[in-house]
Copies of this chain bind each other. A is one copy, B any other.
Amino acid sequence: MRTPDDPRLSGAKRPPESASGDRSRAVEDYLKAICMLQSEGAPVSTSALAQQLDRSPASVTNMVKGLAERGLVEHEPYRGVKLSAAGEREALRIIRRHRVIEAYLIQRLGYAWDEVHAEAERLEHAASDELVERMAASLGHPEMDPHGSPIPTADGELAERRHPTLDTLTAGTRAIVREVSDADEGRLRYLAELGMYPGTGVEVLEHEPFEGPIRIRIDGEERVLGRSLAEVVRVEPQEDEPESGTEGEAT
């Protein structure tokens, strides 16, 4: 009827699930999540991972066992899980993809700050390295994504810089916004309304007691920020100088 490799019809010949060979989408999600949780090299607990990924702890244990067999993580039962060198390499590639894609969507396709996360969350598994590098090139190889998170380089270097969150600053401190979590659309939208982008200068005026909100000055205006919002914003405190208002762009 038809030769086995008839090319007339452009069909899907067993397309791999994710762009990177044999790692399934689930595996990629686990690696990324572990990477982001183990900020300081400390092993990550099963339950923290379960929470992050919205899976049951039992599912996580199962999956982790599999990852350990494949040499992507090291798992000491009851003690937590750490990425192996191979796992970390993989995880950083995925994070790079995510952040490059977010930057591209915003800068080249007119997405808003708060719209890109979900899209990138899906595309990061489908985009090939080739595509990601082309996007990065089109943007001039940015080092930061639009939320201020550092983009790992193509060969897996990540510029770690841990800034404190806004809620930890003492009253009277001036600071510059450096990074905002990209995970929560609602909060992002609100922060955008306030003008709290990376690079914006803020001054903490007062902490309301008992985990209460924080009063800040931003761009000359006084605002009140709920604690859960302030936890999402990472800032670089400034040596005091009389200057106020918005500073130039971040590096």
Q: Which of A36, A123, A187 has the most CB of B within 10 A?
A: A123
> Can you list, as one digit per residue, whether each of A105-134 has a CB less than 8 Å from chain B (1) or not (0)?
100111100010111011101111011001
What's the least CB distance linking A185 to chain B, in Å? 10
Task: Please indicate the chain B residues that have their CB under 8 angstroms from the CB of A52 in the complex.
Answer: 9, 11-12
Q: Which residues of chain B come closer than 8 Å to A1, judged between CB atoms?
A: 48
A9/B32 in contact, CB under 8 A: no
Give Cα distance in the complex from A237 to B17, angstroms. Answer: 41
A31 to chain B minimum Cβ distance, whole angstroms, is 11
- Contact between B121 and A123, CB atoms less than 8 A apart: no
Number of copies: 2
Min C-beta distance of A41 to chain B, whole Å: 16
Known: A7-B184, A8-B181. A105 touches B131 (CB 8 A): yes
- Asked whether, in the complex, the Cβ of A110 is within 8 Å of the Cβ of B123, the reply is no
Expressed in whole angstroms, the minimum distance between the Cβ of A33 and any Cβ of chain B is: 5
CB-based contact A181/B118 at 8 Å: no
- Number of A interface residues in the complex (CB < 8 A): 59
Those of A188-221 within 8 Å (CB) of chain B: none
The contact of A232 among B8, B15, B33, B232, by CB within 8 Å, is B8
Could you tell me if A7 and B183 are in contact, using CB atoms closer than 8 angstroms? yes
Quick one: closest B residue to A19, CB to CB?
A: B122
Instruction: Check if B126 sits within 8 Å of A181, measured CB to CB.
Output: no
By Cβ-Cβ distance, the 10 closest A-B pairs, closest first, are A10-B183, A7-B184, A126-B126, A11-B52, A122-B126, A109-B134, A15-B121, A13-B54, A12-B29, A14-B54
Write 23 A-B pairs (CB below 8 A) sorted by A numbering. A1-B48, A4-B51, A6-B51, A7-B231, A8-B231, A9-B36, A9-B52, A9-B181, A9-B183, A10-B36, A11-B33, A11-B36, A11-B53, A12-B32, A12-B54, A15-B118, A16-B122, A19-B122, A108-B138, A110-B134, A115-B130, A119-B131, A125-B126
What 9 new A-B contacts, CB under 8 Å, besides A7-B181, A119-B128? Answer: A2-B48, A11-B53, A12-B32, A19-B119, A108-B138, A119-B130, A122-B127, A123-B123, A126-B127
